[in-house]
Structure formats: C-alpha cells, structure tokens
Amino acid sequence: MVALQETQAALQQEWEWVQSQAAVDEWARGPGKMVRPGEVLVVPIPAGAAVTPTPTSPAAEQPEAVVTWRVWWNLFFDQPPPAISGG
C-alpha cells in the first residue's frame, strides 16, 4: 500500500511539473527546437560529419494558360470542344 501511495505522489508531482510554464519552456527549447522572437536557433553539426547541401527545387514551369470557356465546355459536355482557331 505504501508503494502505491509513493507512486501516486510521484505521478502527482510529475503531473504538476508538466503543466507548468517551466516544463513548456524546457520542451520548447530542447526537443521542440523553438525560439522566442529575437532568438536564433543554432544546430551544431558534429566535426567530420558529411554535410549534404539542401537540394533546391528545379525552376517551376509556368502552367499553361487556362481558357475559361474550355473549362466550362468540359463541365457541361464532358468532351473536348470543337477545334476553333484563336481560342
């Protein structure tokens, strides 16, 4: 019975800690990797570690201009519109 009371007391103490602002700050600065306004997050890289640069995305291709009437045609008729020059 005493062991259960000790466990309950320890759990109650931990519960109070995790609900505190100090616990939130500790998590945010550690595993959360968060910073306050004006702070700078620094992640050290171990010496000798192979550093691979972050790949950059290829230039995004410009999407083809959408002709509004073709969209409406497809919605109503469920088939390609007739071939019309200039459109």
- Integer Cα distance of 47 and 38 in angstroms: 28
pLDDT tens-digit readout, 5-50: 999 999 999 999 999 999 999 999 888 888 889 988 887 878 887 8
pLDDT band at 68 (very low <50, low <70, confident <90, very high): confident
Give residue limits of the domains in the chain.
1-35
Residue where the block lists tokens 């790949």: 55
Mean pLDDT of 50-54: 78
Provide the whole-model pTM.
0.40
How high is the pLDDT of residue 58? 67
Report the C-alpha gap between 18 and 26 in whole angstroms. Answer: 10
Instruction: Give, for 73, the enclosing helix (H) or strand (E).
Output: helix 68-77
CB-CB contact of 87 with 69 (8 Å): yes
